[in-house]
Amino acid sequence: MEKKKHIIIGCGTAALAALKQMRKNNSEDEIKLVTMEPHLPYSPTSLPYLISGKIKESEIPMVSDDFFDQMKAVWVRGKRVDHVDTEKGEVLYDSRERESYDTLLIATGSEPVLPPIPGLENEQVLQMRVLDHARDLMKRMKGTQAAIILGAGLIGMHVAECLAEHGVQVKVVEMLPRILPAYFDEDASGMIQRVLEKHGVSFFVGRRAKEVAWKKRSAEVSLEEGEPLQTDLLMVATGVRPRVAFLNGSDVKIKDGILVDSTMKTSVENVFAAGDVAEAKSFLTGEHGLNPILPNAAEQGKVAGSNMVGEKKEYSGWLPMNTFNFFGHRAVSVGKILPAKDDEVLLEKDDKNGTYRKIVCRQDRLLGATFLDTDVDAGVFQYLIRGRVEIGPHKKTLIRQPREVSLWLMRESEKKATVSIEE
């Protein structure tokens, strides 16, 4: 068979997963990865841990120096793709070079968004997405007394913890009425907030920043109501969006992200997308949407990699899930966090010990689970949801002994699974 040429734009989790999958399928095709990063591939997930000193910078690369040689792939760094000409099947680099491809994988990930607040265009504003951001913050946080973080998403919360651990007075401003709004319900968010508050982080929840005024390196953040806040350090972590600007004017269809089908193919026949940049269908609703989390990127990259070399693989849809570890505590959520009208909720809450357990079911099937400081194997809950495992008669036991019962249900289901696949 004739060798094809695949270009992968990006070098994050999805891109690497696709590369590995293509080689696993014994493809001998030519593969080139192009990244604008100068560093060996790393995940933005590592950055807060770098700041907290949990890990050394030399340890964060996801692969070793010789990985691309082993994979017989060409790795081009420090180069940006400015445009994709889908008609000719070419990518255009910032250096004005053109390069043709047989299939293209877009795995450019996401980029931080700056909300339209006057004063945020200042170069003192910190963000947290790439290694240079982390290096910036590490330089700046020495000797810093107070910091403000706009946005109480996972990135914001991680950085809040790191700074608080370093003795910095952290204030978090969140527009929505609770912290970690995408991953936890009101009760759980409240409990997490109280733990963080105990460690010196203060919150301004349901409050909007109106303007930022700079005085040399320090800033004054005025809120829509109440006293303005003073800070030495301002970080914006209000969210991310797919990095798709370079596709303007191409035939690749974009809604919030790049729309893909269940094989990760875009609206263009030989162009695929995976990871944060892709808008794939949700496992729970079947509707397209973004779910920029790492396990999702890995899975999508695998599916794309298979299909790009002609091995059929279907994506079953993304499931919201996350895990947040803070000051020795742990919060995890998998699947649906807020019940719909017909859903049943089982809840066990212990304010004294700070534990919280909640499962959302419809009839006999599990749809979502949230746990705070509960010893569980979170992935097993993902299994139960994705496998549509019947948990009906064991719901109550499940909430009482979530770890043990979920493992048992998983194993019982595994036994049946082997039978049904073959039949």
Binding site for other proteins (CB under 8 A): 13, 17, 42-43, 45-46, 49, 54-56, 59-64, 294-295, 298-299, 302, 321-323, 325, 328-330, 332, 334, 373, 377-380, 382-383, 386, 394, 397, 400-401, 403-408, 410-411, 414, 418-419, 422-423
Per-residue tokens: 359: 């499962």
Determine the Cα–Cα distance for residues 158 and 46; give it in Å rounded to an integer. Answer: 10
**Inter-helix orientation angle 294-308/13-24, to 10°:** 40
Main-chain phi, psi angles of 17, to 5 degrees = -65, -40
Query: Least distance to other proteins from the beta carbon of 264, Å?
Result: 15
Per-residue tokens: 215: 């005085």
Which residue, 40 or 221, has its beta carbon nearer to other proteins? 40
Query: Least distance to other proteins from the beta carbon of 421, Å?
Result: 8
Query: Least distance to other proteins from the beta carbon of 145, Å?
Result: 26
**Assign residue 160 a region: left if phi > 0, alpha if psi is -120 to 50, beta otherwise?**
alpha
Query: Least distance to other proteins from the beta carbon of 248, Å?
Result: 30
Query: Least distance to other proteins from the beta carbon of 23, Å?
Result: 13
Query: Least distance to other proteins from the beta carbon of 324, Å?
Result: 8
Query: Least distance to other proteins from the beta carbon of 353, Å?
Result: 14
Which residue, 7 or 50, has its beta carbon nearer to other proteins? 50
Query: Least distance to other proteins from the beta carbon of 383, Å?
Result: 4
Which residue, 58 or 95, has its beta carbon nearer to other proteins? 58
- CA-wise closest residue to 304 among 20, 2, 1, 11: 20
Determine the Cα–Cα distance for residues 158 and 180; give it in Å rounded to an integer. Answer: 11
Query: Least distance to other proteins from the beta carbon of 305, Å?
Result: 11
Which residue, 3 or 312, has its beta carbon nearer to other proteins? 312
Spatial strand order of the sheet with 344-350 comes to 321-326, 329-335, 365-372, 355-362, 344-350
Contact 300, 280 (CB under 8 A): yes
Contact 325, 314 (CB under 8 A): no
Query: Least distance to other proteins from the beta carbon of 160, Å?
Result: 16
Which residue, 105 or 173, has its beta carbon nearer to other proteins? 105
Which residue, 43 or 282, has its beta carbon nearer to other proteins? 43
